[in-house]
Amino acid sequence: MVDRRHFIKKTAGSLAALGGLALLQRSGLAAATRTEASTIIERLPSKEALIKKTYRPPNYETPIHYFDTPFTPNNRFFVRYHNAVIPEVKTSEWRLRIGGDAARTPLELSLEQLRRDFEQVDIAALCLCSGNRRGAFQPPVPGIQWGSGAMGNALWRGVRLKDVLAGAGIDKSALEVSLAGADSGVHKTTPDFVKSLPLAKALDENTLIAFEMNGEPLPHWNGFPARLIIPGWTATYWIKHLTALNVISKPFDGYWMKTAYRIPKDRFPSGQFSSQETAADMPITEIVVNSLITSPADGQTLPNAKSIEINGVAWDGGNGIARVDVSTDGGSNWQQATLKQDYGRFSWRQWHWVFEPKRPGACRIMARATSHSGASQPLEPIPNPSGYHHNAVQKITLHLA
């Protein structure tokens, strides 16, 4: 499954590095206390420069000026891990194991079998971190202080999860399907990043095991050789380097379901994942309606004499975007933007709006998306303990000169 030698080398290397790191921190080098720049642009192997949030586990977001194409290029796609041991999976050794107490015939598939034995399908879908824009919550909420770039839109190719599960035979006692990948913590005591899905979502025809992204094999940092695509749900379920699926008859009770990635029930719609709900809270599931102005940049100075094109993207959890309205006067008046090509209800939708500036000075631009279900963005984000679902109407300021 995993290149063992590489794995061991990497683990041993990281342990040796700890000694070294401690040594370096104690040495004279550490005497000059550095204040970290708020934005560090770094390059992971095979990636273009992205905004570094943390080095290890690697968490990098995409600068928003890269969101100017319908599909986010693989080498600009954001990276998000919970645990630091991330083996480079060898295709020939990779196996997907399907089992669990509610699977009748456990089975194991190679990548070749996965590609050959099931119908291949394509879907355009937005991969969006639950905590995207957490850094904009006031008061601040603990967790990675993401800007707006912990997301990306891609065309995924893979096979339906329901077809693969059918091969193992689903017992009528089945309640959830648990999902695990090859990455893990440094200590054995660290909980593996394992998630689960309600059976209905696992059997949804849009839920895929993908091995291609924008016409190329998945990049290592985005889950090579295969990952889950759960269109309309936040990326916490989109397990990378997928290795195990278990069809189970009881609610999965791991840390990443029972404790993490939960939202209060009184503030968000419930009922998507009833086997994991308590009286007070529930797992985050569907993406909420949202939009982002991708150009011009906040704070930019532009000539007052020329027309200005406002560009952006809008998305939701699968109803599709009905309209985007733009205000150029701080929210008093709104005009309907033009929506660009529709790539399907799980894809984000690009939009644009051109306006003629009337007078010099500061100009407040806002954008508000409405989905086909009629849901629209609030003016303030909905507070919640972990800082998820930030979908307040965005405001940027342009200086007209």
Partner 1 sequence: MLRLLLLLSFFAASATAGESQIFLKDRPGKNQVVAQCAMCHSLDYITEHAPIPDRAGWEKTVAKMINSMGAPINDADKQIIIDYLAQNYGK
Q: Which residues bind partner 1 (CB under 8 A)?
A: 9-10, 13-14, 16-26, 29-34, 36, 40, 42-45, 52-58, 84, 140-142, 144-145, 185-191, 255, 259
- Give CA angle at 36 (31, 37), nearest 5°: 140
Beta bridge partners of 350: 313
Taking the least distance from each CB to partner 1, the nearer of 84 and 182 is: 84
For β-strands 194-198 and 301-302, DSSP reports them as unpaired
CB of 236 to partner 1, least distance (A): 16
**313 φ/ψ angles, rounded to the nearest 5 degrees:** -130, 155
Q: Which residues contact 138 (CB under 8 A, 6 or more apart)?
A: none
CB of 349 to partner 1, least distance (A): 32
CB of 208 to partner 1, least distance (A): 29
Taking the least distance from each CB to partner 1, the nearer of 24 and 362 is: 24
Cα 317 to chain centroid distance, Å, stands at 13
Q: Locate 204 and state its tokens.
A: 């949804």
Taking the least distance from each CB to partner 1, the nearer of 54 and 300 is: 54
For β-strands 242-248 and 95-99, DSSP reports them as parallel
How far apart (Å, rounded) are the C-alpha atoms in residues 264 and 94? 38
How does 233-270 read in b/e, with b if 16+ C-beta sit within 10 Å? bbbbbbbbbbbbbbbbeebbebebbeebbbbeeeebee
Taking the least distance from each CB to partner 1, the nearer of 54 and 336 is: 54
Taking the least distance from each CB to partner 1, the nearer of 23 and 354 is: 23
CB of 139 to partner 1, least distance (A): 8
CB of 378 to partner 1, least distance (A): 23
Taking the least distance from each CB to partner 1, the nearer of 17 and 379 is: 17
Q: Locate 107 and state its tokens.
A: 């089975």
Taking the least distance from each CB to partner 1, the nearer of 252 and 268 is: 252
Give the C-alpha distances (Å, rounded to integers) separating 83 from 58, 249, 297: 9, 27, 33
For β-strands 301-302 and 394-400, DSSP reports them as parallel
- Residue ranges with strand state E in 297-340: 301-302, 308-315, 321-327, 335-336, 338-339
User: Which helix (H) or strand (E) element contains residue 191?
Assistant: none
Q: Helix count (H) and strand count (E) of the chain?
A: 5, 25
CB of 265 to partner 1, least distance (A): 22
Taking the least distance from each CB to partner 1, the nearer of 60 and 238 is: 60
CB of 188 to partner 1, least distance (A): 8
CB of 9 to partner 1, least distance (A): 8
**337 φ/ψ angles, rounded to the nearest 5 degrees:** -75, 165
